[in-house]
């Protein structure tokens, strides 16, 4: 296999993989836009409709996994009250009170967590898939990770 074939293979593989970080999966705008996009019905083909439904389902599964993993971090670094619930923070870098002396460790762990990448095996969306689906420019920007950027150039 020559280097041209390897480049073509990588390019084709990249078109079949959507790479997201846990930070992107945790982004409210991305999730809201994806939910709205997944409710659309006027895609160009049934294949495009199926592909979008598959992306939505797989992203939802990855969000669930990320939330479960983050909950473990929360259990390790956040203080709990007598009722067993996390104590709301009155300021600082987290929504809950961080255990005494663990702030730097928590911030490092959270940074590592948010940069974790996941690959979703699915064909990226291209403009031709859109058919009669209308989305706003903001929604397009929010959904950028699921679109094939090369199709816009």
Please tell me the predicted confidence (pLDDT) of residue 9.
46
Which pLDDT tens digit goes with each residue over 74-90? 999 999 999 999 999 88
Please tell me the predicted confidence (pLDDT) of residue 12.
52
Query: Which helix (H) or strand (E) element contains residue 53?
Result: helix 46-77
CA distance 18 to 37: 16
Which parts of 6-152 are beta strand (E)?
17-21, 117-121
CA distance 101 to 9: 49
Ramachandran class of 64: left when φ > 0, alpha when ψ lies in -120 to 50, beta otherwise = alpha
Q: Domain range holding 135?
A: 3-152
Which pLDDT tens digit goes with each residue over 88-143? 988 877 889 999 999 999 999 999 999 999 999 999 999 999 999 999 999 999 99
Give me the number of domains the chain comprises: 1
Please tell me the predicted confidence (pLDDT) of residue 15.
56
């Amino acid at each position: 296999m020559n280097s041209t074939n390897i480049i073509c293979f990588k390019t084709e593989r990249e078109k079949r993989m959507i790479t997201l970080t846990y930070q992107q999966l945790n982004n409210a705008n991305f999730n809201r836009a994806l939910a709205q996009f997944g409710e659309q019905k006027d895609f160009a083909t049934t294949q495009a409709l199926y592909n979008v439904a598959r992306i939505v389902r797989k992203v939802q599964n990855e969000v669930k996994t990320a939330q479960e993993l983050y909950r473990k971090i929360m259990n390790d670094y956040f203080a709990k009250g007598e009722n067993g619930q996390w104590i709301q923070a009155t300021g600082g870098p987290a929504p809950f009170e961080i255990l005494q002396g663990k702030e730097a460790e928590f911030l490092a762990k959270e940074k590592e967590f948010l940069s974790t990448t996941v690959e979703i095996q699915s064909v990226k969306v291209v403009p031709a898939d859109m058919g009669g689906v209308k989305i706003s420019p903001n929604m397009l920007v929010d959904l950028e990770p699921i679109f094939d950027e090369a199709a816009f150039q």
